C-alpha cells in the first residue's frame, strides 16, 4: 500500500480522455468548460470559474487514482501537486486536459481574457490552500485570512485586501508583505509550535479572493 508521503516518487494517472456524465463532479466540470468557452463574463468571474474548473479536474484525477482527501491526505496532496504542475506547464495532451487549459486562456474580443501568467498564480493559490487539507498542517493560511476579510466586507477588492493585511499584520500573523511576497507565521504540528510559512506570491491575492467570492456566492444560493 502507498505510504501517502507527499515526497513520494509515485506517478499518478493524470490525463483524462473523457468525463463521466454520471459522476456529479465530472458533469459539473463539463458544464463549466462549456460555460467558459461560450460566455463573456468579467475577468474576475471568469477567473473564479477557471479556478473552480481546475479544482474539479483535480477531484476527477483523485477519483481515478482512488484517492480521497479525508482518507489519503498526503497522497492526495502529492497527486494535486503533480496535476497542477502539468496544467501549469501546458503538457496535458488528452481531450479534457486540453479543454481545461484552453478555457483558462480563452480569447474574448481578440484579447486573452485570462492572461497566460495567471495560470501559475492559480497553481500557487490552489496549492497554498491544499496545505491546510493535510492533518496537523496549515492551521493559518492566506486563504483563511482572505475569507475572514471577505466575510467582514463582501465587496472588498484585492487592493483593499492587501491594504487591510498590511495595516493589521499582528492580527493576521503577517511577518512581511510587499509587492512580491507575503510571509505568514503559522501554527503547525501537534504542539502548535509557531514557525514561518514559505513566502507566498502577493499576486496570488486576487486569485484567492476570486475563489473565495465564487464559493461564498454558491453557498448563499443554497
Say how many domains are in the chain: 2
Q: What is the pLDDT of residues 102-128, one digit of tens each?
A: 888 766 666 665 666 667 777 777 776
At which of 135, 154, 177 does a domain end?
Answer: 135
CA–CA distance, 132 with 170 (Å, rounded to integer): 21
**Domain closes at, from 86, 102, 135:** 135
180/215 same-domain check? yes
Asked if residue 179 and residue 145 are part of one domain, the reply reads yes
Say whether both 188 and 104 belong to one domain: no
Point out the domain boundary residue: 112, 135, 158: 135
Q: Are residues 37 and 47 in the same domain?
A: yes
Q: Please say if the pLDDT value at position 132 is more than 90.
A: no
What would the pLDDT profile of 1-10 be if each residue is shown by its tens digit? Answer: 344 444 456 7
Task: Based on the fold, state whether residues 9 and 110 are members of the same structural domain.
Answer: yes
Residues 153 and 93 occupy one common structural domain: no
Q: Determine whether 185 is exposed, middle or buried from the number of CB atoms within 10 Å of its CB (0-12, 13-18, 19+).
A: middle
Higher local confidence (pLDDT), 105 or 151: 151
- pLDDT classification of 203: cutoffs 50, 70, 90: confident
Q: Please tell me the predicted confidence (pLDDT) of residue 6.
A: 45
Domain span holding position 149: 137-222
**Helix/strand/coil (H, E, C) string of the chain?**
CCCCCCCCCCCCCCCCCCCCCCCHHHHHHHHHHHHHHHCCCCHHHHHHHHHHHHHHHHHHHHHHCCCCCCCCHHHHHHHHHHHHHHHHHCCCCCHHHHHHHHHHCCEECCEECCCCCHHHHHHHHHHHHHHHHCCCCCCCCHHHHHHHHHHHCCCCCHHHHHHHHHHCHHHHCEEEECCCEEEEEEEECCCCEEEECCCEEHHHHHHHHHHHHHHHHHHHHC
Amino acid at each position: 500500500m502507498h505510504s501517502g508521503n507527499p515526497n513520494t516518487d509515485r506517478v499518478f494517472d493524470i490525463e483524462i480522455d473523457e468525463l463521466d456524465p454520471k459522476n456529479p463532479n465530472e458533469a459539473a466540470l463539463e458544464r463549466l468548460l462549456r460555460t467558459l468557452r461560450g460566455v463573456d463574463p468579467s475577468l474576475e468571474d471568469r477567473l473564479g470559474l477557471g479556478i473552480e474548473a481546475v479544482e474539479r479536474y483535480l477531484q476527477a484525477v483523485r477519483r481515478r487514482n482512488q484517492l480521497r482527501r479525508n482518507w489519503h491526505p498526503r497522497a492526495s496532496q502529492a497527486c494535486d501537486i503533480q496535476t497542477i504542475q502539468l496544467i501549469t506547464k501546458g503538457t496535458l495532451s488528452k481531450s479534457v486536459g486540453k479543454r481545461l487549459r484552453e478555457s483558462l486562456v480563452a480569447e474574448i474580443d481578440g484579447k486573452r481574457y485570462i492572461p497566460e501568467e495567471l495560470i501559475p498564480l492559480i497553481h500557487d493559490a490552489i496549492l497554498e490552500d491544499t496545505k491546510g487539507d493535510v492533518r496537523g498542517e496549515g492551521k493559518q493560511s492566506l486563504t483563511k485570512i482572505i475569507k475572514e476579510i471577505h466575510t467582514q466586507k463582501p465587496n472588498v477588492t484585492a487592493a483593499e485586501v492587501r491594504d487591510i493585511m498590511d495595516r493589521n499584520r499582528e492580527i493576521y500573523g503577517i511577518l512581511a508583505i510587499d509587492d512580491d511576497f507575503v510571509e505568514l507565521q503559522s501554527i503547525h504540528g501537534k504542539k502548535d509550535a509557531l514557525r514561518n510559512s514559505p513566502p507566498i506570491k502577493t499576486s496570488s491575492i486576487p486569485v484567492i479572493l476570486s475563489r473565495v467570492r465564487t464559493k461564498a456566492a454558491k453557498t448563499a444560493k443554497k
